């Protein structure tokens, strides 16, 4: 079966291991189209050609680059004629123009279609996006949902088609591995790794929760964004500026090493009226490295962590402080939760497993009328 995937997310090199895993199936002929760059509001995301074996990675321009709702691939019609795919995997939300246009063009070319969604808040969009969304929901053959709440959102909006809950990406367990055992007397390192430093990620909460911790500890913060100056000022106000290290944006290829040097990874997300945590991919990356994870109860976080980490109520500084203190004081607890985390990833969240589930969807589509 010939699969054509459209995905700006696959600009990221680490995500391409899923594409290699899909491409290894003998009955799959995979072509993936990505743009050369995505003009993200925080910082441009450039194409990383890191894992490109077993499938074709094509780079095509997009119009309205950086505009999540309006962008599209102007060369798609030509690519459809050249490749004649059986299935077009549209790695985008149903309300985007790119999804609506790709679905229409794919159907004219005789291909079946599916979309991917992280959307866990039921939002109403203005025309024409509302009408495009409804047409996609009525005509597309399959929906891939990245979390449990996305299923409820799209069913409430009228989607009656086939669907499966499959995260967009897993982790490559051969890249994300445990570090060598380290000196137990060294500085305790708390990490927080996000691409964007924004209020909803709750990093200010982490600073406040850590400020009263005893002993030797440091916080490493990865990512960039408008919140950074405010976080730097807060660290100074709390008297911990010398304990907080801002690492800036980190390439995906360097994330495993970044996580391996941590003792604990914290994702203190807070729900806002227009956002709640959709998955928290850094959690499974850290878990694969046997790093202990601590997360708030925002959105999908508790379902991702399960019993392999610690959960605290959103915005509860005292509860987060208590978790961090217990972890600092118990190497055994850190060891046991770290082991549990990696086992959970191996059981549920590897790229191979995500690829296998995705290929099963392709096969199901091919058997349907």
C-alpha 144/C-alpha 114 separation (Å) is 7
CB 21 within 8 A of CB 171: no
Assigned architecture for domain 188-348: 3-Layer(aba) Sandwich (3.40)
User: In 10 A of CB 132, how many CB atoms?
Assistant: 21
Handedness of CA 123, 10, 116, 299 (dihedral sign): negative
Q: What is the pLDDT of residue 41?
A: 80
Query: Does the pLDDT value for residue 154 go beyond 90?
Result: yes
Residues 90-123: pLDDT tens digits?
999 999 999 999 999 999 999 999 999 999 999 9
Residues 9-18: pLDDT tens digits?
999 998 999 9
Residues 264-292: pLDDT tens digits?
999 999 999 999 999 999 999 999 999 99
Query: Does the pLDDT value for residue 221 go beyond 70?
Result: yes
Query: Does the pLDDT value for residue 181 go beyond 90?
Result: no
Class for domain 2-170+350-367, per CATH?
alpha beta
Structure tokens at 215: 């002993």
Give every CB contact of residue 353 below 8 A, 6+ residues apart in sequence. 170
Residues 235-261: pLDDT tens digits?
999 999 999 999 999 988 899 999 999
Structure tokens at 212: 């009263």
Query: Does the pLDDT value for residue 185 go beyond 80?
Result: no
Determine the 3-state secondary structure of 111 from DSSP.
Answer: coil
pLDDT band at 183 (very low <50, low <70, confident <90, very high): low
Q: What length does the chain have?
A: 369
C-alpha 322/C-alpha 344 separation (Å) is 24
Q: What is the pLDDT of residue 292?
A: 98
Q: What is the mean pLDDT of the chain?
A: 96
Residue the block writes with tokens 């491409």: 23
Query: Does the pLDDT value for residue 184 go beyond 70?
Result: no
Query: Does the pLDDT value for residue 369 go beyond 80?
Result: no
Residues 64-88: pLDDT tens digits?
999 999 999 999 999 999 999 999 9
Residues 296-354: pLDDT tens digits?
999 999 999 999 999 999 999 999 999 999 999 999 999 999 999 999 999 999 999 99
Q: What is the pLDDT of residue 156?
A: 97
Q: What is the pLDDT of residue 35?
A: 98
Residues carrying CATH 3.40.50.2000, the chain: 2-170+350-367, 188-348
Predicted TM-score (pTM) of the model is 0.92
């Amino acid at each position: 079966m010939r699969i054509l995937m459209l995905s700006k997310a696959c600009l990221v090199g680490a995500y391409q291991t899923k594409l290699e895993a899909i491409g290894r199936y003998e009955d799959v002929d995979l072509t993936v189209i990505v743009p050369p760059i995505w003009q993200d509001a925080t910082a441009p995301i450039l194409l990383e050609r890191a894992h490109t074996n077993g499938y074709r990675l094509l780079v095509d321009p997009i119009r309205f680059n950086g505009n999540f709702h309006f962008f599209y691939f102007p060369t798609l019609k030509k690519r459809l004629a050249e490749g004649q795919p059986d299935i077009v995997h549209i790695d985008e939300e149903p309300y985007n123009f790119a999804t609506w246009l790709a679905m229409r063009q794919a159907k004219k070319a005789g291909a079946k279609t599916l979309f991917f969604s992280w959307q866990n808040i039921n939002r109403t969009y203005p025309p024409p996006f509302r009408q495009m969304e409804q047409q996609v929901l009525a005509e597309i053959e399959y929906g891939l949902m990245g979390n449990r709440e996305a299923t409820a959102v799209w069913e409430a909006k009228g989607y009656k088609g086939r669907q499966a809950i499959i995260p967009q990406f897993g982790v490559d367990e051969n890249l994300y591995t445990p570090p060598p055992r380290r000196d137990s007397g060294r500085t305790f390192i708390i990490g927080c790794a996000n691409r964007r430093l924004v209020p909803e990620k709750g990093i200010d909460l982490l600073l406040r929760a850590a400020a009263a911790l005893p002993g030797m500890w440091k916080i490493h913060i990865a990512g960039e964004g408008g919140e950074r100056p405010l976080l730097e000022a807060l660290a100074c106000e709390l008297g911990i500026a010398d304990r907080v290290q801002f690492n800036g944006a980190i390439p995906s290829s360097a994330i495993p090493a970044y996580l391996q040097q941590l003792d604990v990874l914290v994702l203190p997300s807070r729900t806002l009226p227009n956002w709640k945590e959709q998955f928290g991919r850094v959690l499974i990356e850290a878990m694969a490295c046997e790093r202990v994870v601590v997360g708030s109860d925002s959105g999908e976080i508790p379902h991702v962590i399960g019993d392999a980490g610690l959960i605290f109520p959103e915005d509860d500084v005292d509860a987060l402080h208590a978790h961090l203190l217990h972890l600092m004081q118990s190497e055994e607890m850190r060891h046991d939760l770290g082991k549990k985390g990696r086992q959970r990833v191996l059981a549920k969240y590897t790229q191979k497993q995500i690829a296998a589930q995705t290929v099963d969807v392709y096969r199901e589509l091919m058997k349907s009328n």
